A and B are shown apart, each in its own frame.
Chain A
């Protein structure tokens, strides 16, 4: 990492401390927790973009899939709904699988016109058959106390398991996308990932039986104690007295510290694995492929297979981070997945931090998230200062103040363009 990197990390810690002193300590730790998750997301994108030069425009989709794992693993099962429609859903999935198998077999066995015809007929027949089982099942599930549940629920396991399951979900989706679009022009992966991420979000928003859709799932079990319980703990009351802080703040900080510990552990594991991978023969091969695909292929490397491998690995990391995010929020809100926040912000983190360098990606995650959160107070303050010469009720002043929120979009675009052009190697350049 070197002195420069260490210095930058130190500055980052000081900035977080500053927020603690100037604004409040619970806020500082909220930012820290999201910085840690952002760093993991950023590592995931760095594995794809930094190691292999693969452009993932659908980061959001993989994060959301990971987030869904949070529900599937940890929510208690809704027994009534499972009895009402669980079998139907399973049967529909089975029909879909059989249809896919039949299409595959038909595509292999037949040729020419007949193949097109057979595939179309099987697809349409399969779709109608599956829907005829699926629709009543969904209706039955969604009818079960729809104001409170109306979905299948989950497995009722501790939520920490979802971090692994989320990684597996995301890796599975990535494998399918990669299988289709890798090995073709680089643009195709970008467009395919853009498409799959939008479809994943659409599914999460509309399939109420799975995720309750836009009704959101709240009250997801936590891996750490609740603030209310901690507020009665004698040692915390004692601490609060000694530091002169309110017990509410101390309890909130304590909970956030628990999360921070968990997240830091994951971050360190992912970072350690990434560093090991990058400096192994495998990592050197990946970079060789990135820098000159033709030469690497001539040396006997299977470029497409390696790309698929690295794409799946990176997406798995994204899925893990997505599950962690749901864990931290304690709720799953499909509508909150926006490309700006979950795809492009992560890219800016990687590019600002230094693509190809794991420490750079981590630093980028911290720095960019910090300014993303603090940009609003800073921006509002700036706008207020700049327009202070105008009259209090001036229409221009009002428009500018109201539009300050849209400045984020422009700022992200401008940062991306400026860094890409003037400092393409980022804060901590690749060695």
Chain B
């Protein structure tokens, strides 16, 4: 019984949040890794792309709510997703046309792209604050829980509750569907195969008649969709605040690098590694130890939550020291 209580406690505060956060990071890191694979630079504007897509979703959600449209127990934001994706696709393609394309024709070094992407980050950031403002926005509706802590306690007779929020369930389902679709696209369709070829060896791909502009365009479209969905899921789960999307950039980069930049499988693995380490290191284990029969004083917490992004940084440093190419190196796409 005590062991089950400890497990429920871990499940509630460690495993469920870890999985949810891992999904969100994985989707974000996939966007980073796709752009890295095709355009070969780390896109610093990715966090803001997520925020932009989410902002459009929020605005459309408010419109739908105003018209009385709803999805019942599911959040209305899911209906608004296509609009958000369309808007961020348009934004990214415009950005590519007027910013990155020039450097592509110049064959600039990745550092120049990187600086340009930071300039873009500021443009987006200003745009978002200009439209929706810097404050917290709530846009989640529908039912809040799949399993409530109290119901779980009654069901199992345990002292510890296990709650699963609707947004957590949605995050997992959407991520699984999206990842399957993405891998199907990359490995089965002609466009996906040409992307993999382009990422593996640009010159060889060009020789065999692959249109680089098309590949780049598809990469931006995929990135826009992934970023918008990741951003919306994150916003539904926590809340939407433009500033947090700037902060999430570091764990996303860490996830992409831990998995190996340019490797989609790596991005997903990296997302979960980062998410679980972050949650596990900042979790206070005192009660768990209590259920296991050891009474301890102190929180038994390795690191206070103020430093949670230090965890992703520490993992990043370890990977850079031990295996700079990441866990899934060599497998680009």
Task: List residues of chain A with CB under 8 Å of any chain B CB.
Answer: 53, 55, 57, 124, 127-128, 132, 135, 180-181, 184-188, 190-192, 194-196, 198-199, 202-203, 205-206, 340, 344, 347, 351, 403, 406-414, 416-417, 420-421
Contacts and interface: CB of A to CB of B under 8 A. Distances in A.
Contact of B257 (A55, A124, A191, A202): A191
B11 interface: no
B153 interface: no
A421 B105 CA distance: 12
Given A127-B302, A416-B115, A417-B99, A194 B250 contact: yes
A248 to B, nearest CB: 36
A102 to B, nearest CB: 16
B99 A192 contact: no
A57 B307 contact: no
A181 B320 contact: yes
A128 B120 CA distance: 43
A413 B253 CA distance: 21
A298 B49 CA distance: 41
A407 B317 contact: no
Contacts of B120: 413, 417
Interface in B301-325: 302-304, 306-307, 309-310, 312-313, 316-317, 320-321, 324
Interface of B: 36, 41-42, 44, 99, 102, 109-112, 114-116, 118-127, 129-130, 134, 247, 249-250, 253-254, 257, 261, 298, 302-304, 306-307, 309-310, 312-313, 316-317, 320-321, 324
A408 B320 CA distance: 35
Given A55-B114, A124-B302, A180 B321 contact: yes
Contacts of B249: 194
* A-B CB proximity, top 10 nearest: A413-B122, A410-B126, A409-B126, A416-B119, A413-B123, A195-B313, A417-B119, A406-B129, A187-B42, A206-B306
B118 A344 contact: yes
B288 to A, nearest CB: 15
B316 A198 contact: no
Nearest to A119: B318
Contacts of B42: 187, 190-191
Nearest to B43: A187
A260 B121 CA distance: 35
A406 B122 contact: no
Which residue, A190, A403, A407, A408, has most C-beta atoms of chain B within 10 A?
A190
28 contacts: A128-B302, A180-B320, A184-B324, A186-B109, A187-B36, A187-B41, A187-B42, A191-B254, A191-B257, A195-B254, A199-B307, A202-B306, A203-B307, A206-B307, A347-B115, A406-B134, A407-B130, A409-B129, A410-B122, A410-B125, A410-B130, A411-B126, A413-B121, A413-B123, A413-B125, A414-B123, A416-B119, A417-B119
A191 B316 contact: yes
B230 to A, nearest CB: 18
B316 A192 contact: yes
B310 A199 contact: yes
B123 A410 contact: yes
A93 B94 CA distance: 52
Nearest to B112: A420
Contact of A195 (B44, B123, B250): B250
Contacts of A409: 122-123, 125-126, 129
